[in-house]
């Protein structure tokens, strides 16, 4: 990245982090105690935004498909799971320390052989396992050690047979899961891009071995397309195939979906062909037969797995960055002023409509409350009566609300309101009993 681009990138990142704090999307965790490194809490709007991202993912991948089912496995699993999966032995990053300033870095992230902070000499790299450990039960000894899962995938693999026996699905079919994962990352940072506690949205798609390539091709294209269908700009997202020497030991092939973050292109999601590696490891390690018996062909086999593995927090951050825009809008007196607007796809916007009475007093406020009461069972909405109407529009633009409904004195006479569109700032005057059908039509659009 060139210097100028880098500066612009970090300015944009700062603007987003500050907007997130100011408007209640994301707060530093335990802030009154000085914060805890790289952990973040979602505030009122961030919570809904992330929920909307997860709901959009779930709808596409479970609700709307015949070949997918959901799962919600426990975070704590039998310690042997992580031995079988290879995590105990090799889920590790190379760690180096600076002998001068004592900072720690991931050796594979460094572009130089000296400390990037102070230029000091670095130690030899040593492998550092990223799994968090804790103790189960009242005794804190080695026998009681359990791991806090570093990925949700293993919960799916070990439940493969349970799902097979109960869901009447057969390969090709998939299991989808959303849940927390924990990694003791050496160099977390870049806001919510890399944290030690995060949420994953993972699919394990089980296929007959000879169909694996076909499904791999299907899934990397489908996953790229999903981000675009959720409104992500075409020019900010791309696929990158892994070089052979970059592939994880279990993967036959892998694509990353990458997003053009202000700090450069980086992984949003990985789509890997994991072959039958995982099921084979668990079959050998547990001693249980978890193969699929294909009655139609009278054969028994371990399915291959195609894994699209995404991060809910990373996706939420990318959608926020992609939506961030600055333009100009008229103030009270018609003078143009800068406005910050989050142009979320409508299905992701935390608040879909805001009800803004021009005056606080009854009977206008009564009418506005009634309108709000009619909207809220259907859509996340807000009632805001404080400040000038211009300020209220700006507040809603900043959190990405697609529609603002203004109620004025004329509304009492003609039973009509004004609906303002976030992006075009165009205003429509419509009858009060048309508000819900209007919102339904506008908000239903799948790409917006």
Give me the residues that bind ligand ATP (CB under 6 A), please. Answer: 151, 183, 185, 194-195, 198, 200, 267-270, 309-311, 313-314
Instruction: Decide whether 16 or 354 has the Cβ nearer to ligand ATP.
Output: 16
Q: Give least dist CB 46 to ligand ATP, A.
A: 15
Instruction: Decide whether 161 or 240 has the Cβ nearer to ligand ATP.
Output: 240
Instruction: Decide whether 93 or 382 has the Cβ nearer to ligand ATP.
Output: 93
Q: Give least dist CB 415 to ligand ATP, A.
A: 49
Instruction: Decide whether 169 or 240 has the Cβ nearer to ligand ATP.
Output: 240
Instruction: State which residue has the least CB distance to ligand ATP.
Output: 311
Residue 184 C-alpha from the chain's centroid:
19
Instruction: Decide whether 87 or 343 has the Cβ nearer to ligand ATP.
Output: 87
Task: Say how many C-beta atoms besides its own lie within 10 A of residue 141's C-beta.
Answer: 8
Instruction: Decide whether 254 or 341 has the Cβ nearer to ligand ATP.
Output: 254
Q: How far apart are CA 151 and CA 161, in angstroms?
A: 19
Measured CA to CA in angstroms, residue 72 lies from 152, 153, 178, 278 at distances of 9, 11, 7, 19
Q: Which two tokens stand for residue 334?
A: 């018609």
Q: Give least dist CB 101 to ligand ATP, A.
A: 24
Q: Give least dist CB 19 to ligand ATP, A.
A: 20
Instruction: Decide whether 254 or 351 has the Cβ nearer to ligand ATP.
Output: 254
Q: Give least dist CB 92 to ligand ATP, A.
A: 12
Q: Give least dist CB 49 to ligand ATP, A.
A: 16
Q: How far apart are CA 387 and CA 231, in angstroms?
A: 32
Q: Give least dist CB 37 to ligand ATP, A.
A: 12
Instruction: Decide whether 108 or 433 has the Cβ nearer to ligand ATP.
Output: 108
Q: Give least dist CB 270 to ligand ATP, A.
A: 4
Q: Which residues on adjacent β-strands are paired with residue 232?
A: none
Instruction: Decide whether 314 or 392 has the Cβ nearer to ligand ATP.
Output: 314
Crossing angle (nearest 10°) for helices 364-375 and 435-444: 40
Instruction: Decide whether 272 or 371 has the Cβ nearer to ligand ATP.
Output: 272
Q: Give least dist CB 284 to ligand ATP, A.
A: 23
Q: Give least dist CB 194 to ligand ATP, A.
A: 4
């Amino acid at each position: 990245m060139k210097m100028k681009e880098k500066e612009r990138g970090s300015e944009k990142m700062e603007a987003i982090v500050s907007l997130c704090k100011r408007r209640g999307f994301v707060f530093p965790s335990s802030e009154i105690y000085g914060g805890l490194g790289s952990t973040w809490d979602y505030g009122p709007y961030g919570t809904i935004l992330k929920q909307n991202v997860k709901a959009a993912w779930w709808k596409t991948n479970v609700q709307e498909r015949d070949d997918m089912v959901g799962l919600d496995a426990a975070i704590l699993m039998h310690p042997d799971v992580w031995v079988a999966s290879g995590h105990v032995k090799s889920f590790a990053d190379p760690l180096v320390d600076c002998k001068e300033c004592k900072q720690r870095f991931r050796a594979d992230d460094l572009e130089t052989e000296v400390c990037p902070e102070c230029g000091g000499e670095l130690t030899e790299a040593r492998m550092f396992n990223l799994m968090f450990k804790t103790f189960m039960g009242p005794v804190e000894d080695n026998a009681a050690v359990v791991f806090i899962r570093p990925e949700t995938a293993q919960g799916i693999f070990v439940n493969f047979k349970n799902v097979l026996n109960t869901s009447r699905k057969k390969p090709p079919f998939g299991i989808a899961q959303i849940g927390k994962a924990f990694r003791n990352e050496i160099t977390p940072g870049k806001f919510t891009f890399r944290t030690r506690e995060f949420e994953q949205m993972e699919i394990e798609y089980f296929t007959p071995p000879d169909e694996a390539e076909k499904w791999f091709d299907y899934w990397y294209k489908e996953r790229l397309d999903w981000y675009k269908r959720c409104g992500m700009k075409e020019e900010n997202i791309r696929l990158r195939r892994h070089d052979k020497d970059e592939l994880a030991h279990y993967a036959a092939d892998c694509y990353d979906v990458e997003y053009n973050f202000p700090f450069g292109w980086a992984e949003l999601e990985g789509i890997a062909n994991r072959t039958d590696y995982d099921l084979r490891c668990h079959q050998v390690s547990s001693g249980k037969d978890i193969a699929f018996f294909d009655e139609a062909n009278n054969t028994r086999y371990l399915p291959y797995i195609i894994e699209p593995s995404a991060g809910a927090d990373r996706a939420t951050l990318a959608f926020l960055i992609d939506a961030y825009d600055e333009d100009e809008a008229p103030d009270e007196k018609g003078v143009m002023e800068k406005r910050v607007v989050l142009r979320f796809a409508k299905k992701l916007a935390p608040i879909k409509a805001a009800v803004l009475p021009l005056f606080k007093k009854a009977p206008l406020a009564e009418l506005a409350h009634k309108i709000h009461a009619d909207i809220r069972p259907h859509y996340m909405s807000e009632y805001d009566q404080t400040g000038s109407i211009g300020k209220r529009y700006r507040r809603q633009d900043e959190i990405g609300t697609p529609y603002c409904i203004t109620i004025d004195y004329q509304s009492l006479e003609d039973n009509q309101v004004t609906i303002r569109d976030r992006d075009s700032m165009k205003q429509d005057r419509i009858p009060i009993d048309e508000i819900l059908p209007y919102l339904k039509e506008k908000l239903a659009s799948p790409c917006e």
